Amino acid sequence: MKKIDIKTTDQEKIVGTYARYDMVADHGKGAVCVDEEGKEYIDFTAGIGVNSLGFCDDGWVRAVTKQLKKLQHVSNLFYTEPQTRVAEILTARTGLCKVFFSNSGAEANEVAIKAARKYSNNKYGNDINWITTLENSFHGRTMAAITATGQENYHKDFYPFLGNFSYCKPDDIDDLHKSINDKTCAIMLEVVQGEGGVVNLNKEFLQEVESLCRQKDMLLIVDEVQTGIGRTGTLFAYEQYGIKPDIVTFAKGIGGGLPIGGALFGEKVCDVLGPGSHGTTYGGNPVACAGALEVLDRMDDAFLKGVAEKGEYMKKKLNAIPAVVSISGLGLMLGVEIKGKEAKTAVAEALKKGLMSLTAKDKIRLLPPLTITYEEIDKGLKILEDVLK
Ligand SMILES: *Cc1c(COP(=O)(O)O)cnc(C)c1O
């Protein structure tokens, strides 16, 4: 292959939807990424919460390559063992009943929206189809998922959207009551709003949402695409709020780096979608599922407790940095409000010094791999501290 200038060619040949950071990633191991010039970076991004076991974890590579040599794809017209096993584990660990597998978070939310509308259509007739989501939420980039996303900047160039969505201010119980009507079939939310700036919702609000859903037979859909699969110190974040969703969507962290997502359905909804009502060619692909099996297998109670402890440790150290104003989030999903410079600038400067990190709104967002060591955490935080001086 002839040598190419990756940055220039990328900018010429790839649609410019991403404002990429100034780094060409070449390879990685654990929480360390190496660029094309051989420079090392501590990774506080995990590929936006995807590489839960870090880069190229040995067990994960073994599991994935083993499946890759056996059967890479066969379509959902046939049964496969890895997909069945992932479903078995997810349902056993959540008490929910059935899974639909997709390839991404947006697609996971699509099926959740379709299932919610079909549930109510079946039961009450075709006009019970309104869905309430929250302002400042993020549910993905497909047309239904951006309709659900309660942020005008994602909407502005793409009208018209799906009808019959309404938006509620997070943590505002009065507004919650105003945002539903007698045609509402579901309420959909993230328990910690990720892209919205790592905003934790409060427990009373979530419990009010749940109780309203029960009273009015609306479905509670929790989007755990970012918060799920161990990220917050429990398998799913909703577990920490004492609520029981009817539908839980997941994606990012489950495949350990391979594209897979899905929706878990509780008792009420698990038989709503029958043959022909929904589908996808790749969803629950056996190689991605082999990766997911390794991720889930590693995520036992001790591992999850470790995630919570590392999160507390990071919070404590971050709090000691004078430029840090506040810290939000749960487990290893942290939002850091800073003063003195913009988060965007701090993240770019940190990258130059060897730390990969993210922003969410005007905060620095940290989503390290769940397997990160304390030594790596210290190294990364030292860089952040230098940048924030
Ligand atoms: C990332 C994200 C999505 C979208 O996932 P994609 O895989 O990018 O489609 C949806 N919901 C939440 C909460 C997310 O963080």
What integer pLDDT is reported at residue 3 of this predicted model?
A: 83
Cα(38) to centroid of ligand 1, in Å?
A: 31
Q: Annotated binding residue at 207?
A: no
The arithmetic mean of pLDDT across residues 181-210, rounded, is 98
Q: Is it the case that residue 1 has pLDDT exceeding 80? A: no
Q: Is it the case that residue 361 has pLDDT exceeding 80? A: yes
Lowest mean pLDDT among 44-48, 124-128, 242-246, 247-251: 124-128
What integer pLDDT is reported at residue 201 of this predicted model?
A: 98
Q: Annotated binding residue at 386?
A: no
133 lines ligand 1 (CB under 6 A): no
d(CA 194, CA 262): 18
Quickly state the pLDDT bin for 138 (edges 50, 70, 90): very high
Same domain, 227 and 283: yes
The arithmetic mean of pLDDT across residues 307-317, rounded, is 98
Last residue of a domain, one of 263, 282, 298: 298
CA dihedral for 265, 269, 272, 278, sign (positive or negative): negative
Note if the pTM is more than 0.85: yes
- The residue contributing the CA closest to ligand 1 atom 15 is 226
**Containing H/E element for 58?**
helix 58-68
Same domain, 48 and 97: no
What integer pLDDT is reported at residue 273 of this predicted model?
A: 98
d(CA 59, CA 55): 11
Output the CA angle 124-126-130, nearest 5 degrees. 90
What phi, psi does 98 have (nearest 5°)?
Answer: -145, 160
Q: Is residue 47 part of a domain?
A: yes
Q: Is residue 65 part of a domain?
A: no
251 lines ligand 1 (CB under 6 A): yes
Same domain, 156 and 171: yes
Contacts of 274 (CB under 8 A, 6+ apart): none
Same domain, 176 and 155: yes
Q: Annotated binding residue at 67?
A: no
246 lines ligand 1 (CB under 6 A): no
| CA-closest candidate to residue 195, choices 153, 239, 158 | 153
DSSP state, residue 202: P
Q: Annotated binding residue at 224?
A: yes
Same domain, 251 and 359: no
Cα(269) to centroid of ligand 1, in Å?
A: 22
194 lines ligand 1 (CB under 6 A): yes
Partner residues linked to 165 by β-bridges:
131
- Tell which atom from ligand 1 comes closest to the C-alpha of 227: 13
118 lines ligand 1 (CB under 6 A): no
Widest distance between CA atoms in the chain: 64
The arithmetic mean of pLDDT across residues 167-184, rounded, is 98
Q: Is residue 63 part of a domain?
A: no
If one residue of 221, 225, 358 were mutated to test the ligand 1 pocket, choosing by the most ligand atoms within 8 A of its CB, it would be 225
Which CATH number covers residue 122?
3.40.640.10
106 lines ligand 1 (CB under 6 A): yes
DSSP SS3 for 241: helix
Which CATH number covers residue 305?
3.90.1150.10
Last residue of a domain, one of 298, 316, 350: 298
| CA-closest candidate to residue 234, choices 297, 300, 289, 292 | 300
The whole domain housing 110 covers 71-298
Cα(134) to centroid of ligand 1, in Å?
A: 15
Last residue of a domain, one of 270, 298, 326: 298
Give the chain's length.
Answer: 389
The arithmetic mean of pLDDT across residues 122-148, rounded, is 96
- Tell which atom from ligand 1 comes closest to the C-alpha of 140: 4
Average pLDDT, the chain: 97
* Total count of domains within the chain: 2
Cα(345) to centroid of ligand 1, in Å?
A: 24
Same domain, 97 and 174: yes
Q: Annotated binding residue at 72?
A: no
Same domain, 310 and 293: no
Same domain, 294 and 316: no
What integer pLDDT is reported at residue 2 of this predicted model?
A: 81
Same domain, 79 and 227: yes
Cα(106) to centroid of ligand 1, in Å?
A: 6
Q: Is it the case that residue 55 has pLDDT exceeding 80? A: yes
Same domain, 43 and 82: no
Same domain, 40 and 176: no
Cα 207 from chain centre: 22
Same domain, 306 and 238: no
